[in-house]
Amino acid sequence: MQVKSGRNQLRSMFRELTDGVVTGLAMLATVVVVAPLVAIFVYLIYKGASSLSLSFFTRLPRPVGEAGGGMANAIVGSAILLGIASLIGVPVGIGGGIFLAEFGRGTKLADAIRFTADVLNGVPSIVMGIAIYALIVVPQNHFSAFSGGVALGIMMIPTVCRTTEEMLLMVPHAVREAALALGVPNWRSVLSITVKTASPGIITGCMLAFARVAGETAPLIFTALGNSFWSTSLNQPIAALPLQIWVYAQSPYEDWHRLAWAGALVLIILIVTAVSLVRYVTSRGVLKGAS
């Protein structure tokens, strides 16, 4: 008996040790994931916060050598570009995802669309810029906000489409059956029950795609081009935060570098704000106990 209880004690000590080690590893992994994010944010605040002022948000860029100046046009420009992108990327992506998960399941067409979306997801963003340049900018003979928005919008489609599909497939079969058994037509059940049940996940997918294209520079170089002046016209070249950061960061001037840091900080804050706002607004209608 003595021996046995000794062995049991050893085993239980070993289990506790394993538990501790695995928990420690999980915590370490969390730190590794979060640390770069925190580091980037802290560094951005350190470098950029000092150059942030009211005029940064209200003024246009000044020529080299003149002090001050801001990125008002780039902030508004980014908002316009992302608005156009979302108008294209979100409906097309969600529509495609619904088709893949509900109406086209198992068909050749769905397989083809899924494959295309995955390939599109892997296309380098600079290639997307050149493609839109050839398709829209060249025929129109001028750079434009519209072409930039289209480039970003097309980049959003595959992410939105595939997450929508994944989220819809996660809705339990029992929920679909419940709707059908009530005599609800299939299309109605898909739109009002399945999509609604999956909507938190779908919204997350849209936000991911949005945040990803918000920081894209390459596709805008050949399309939106950038603009040092005030413009909100969809037919004119337009400024964008990533473009402006890129131009400023490459310049040899010290005060432009500082503005680039401030721009990067503002870009991140705007993305975080937009994502949180959408989350807040969409979570208000959620009921107690709904999962």
Partner 1 sequence: MGVGIEVINLNAWYGTNHSLQDVNLNMPGNHATALIGPSGCGKSTFVRCLNRMHETNPIARVTGTVRIGDLDIYEDCKPVEIRRRVGMVFQRPNPFPTMSIYDNVAAGLKLNGYSNHRALDEIVEKSLKNSALWDEVKDDLKKKSGASLSGGQQQRLCIARALAVDPEVLLMDEPASALDPVSTSKIEDLIFQLKSQYTIVIVTHNMQQAARVAEKTGFFLNGRMVEFDSTHKIFTNPSDKRTEDYITGRFG
Nearer to partner 1, 116 or 282 (CB): 282
Assigned token pair, 57: 């948000």
Minimum distance from residue 107 beta carbon to partner 1 (Å): 11
Backbone angles phi, psi at 107, to 5 degrees: -90, 160
Token match 């890129």: residue?
A: 246
Q: Which of 33, 37, 67, 290 binds partner 1 (CB under 8 A)?
A: 290
Q: CB–CB of 262/52 below 8 Å?
A: yes
Q: Which of 3, 33, 37, 287 binds partner 1 (CB under 8 A)?
A: 287
Dist CA 201 CA 218 (whole Å): 28
- Name the one range near partner 1 by CB under 8 A: 74-82, 137-145, 205-213, 281-289: 281-289
Nearer to partner 1, 118 or 177 (CB): 177
Angle at 226 between CA 225 and CA 232, to 5 degrees: 110
Nearer to partner 1, 98 or 225 (CB): 98
Nearer to partner 1, 130 or 169 (CB): 169
Subset of residues 169 to 208 that bind partner 1, contact rule: CB under 8 A: 172, 174-175, 177-185, 188-189, 192-193, 196-197, 199
Which amino acid is it at 48?
Answer: G
Dist CA 280 CA 285 (whole Å): 10
Residues 209-238, one symbol each (x = binds partner 1 by CB under 8 A, - = not), give: ------------------------------
Does 78 contact partner 1 by CB under 8 A?
no
Subset of residues 97 to 126 that bind partner 1, contact rule: CB under 8 A: 106
CA atoms within 13 A of residue 149's CA, in its CB half-sphere: 23
- Give residue 217's Cα distance to chain centre: 14
Nearer to partner 1, 142 or 188 (CB): 188
Q: How far is CA 59 from CA 54, 72, 255, in A?
A: 8, 6, 15
Dist CA 249 CA 244 (whole Å): 8
Q: Where along the sequence are the contacts to partner 1 (CB under 8 A)?
A: 106, 172, 174-175, 177-185, 188-189, 192-193, 196-197, 199, 286-291
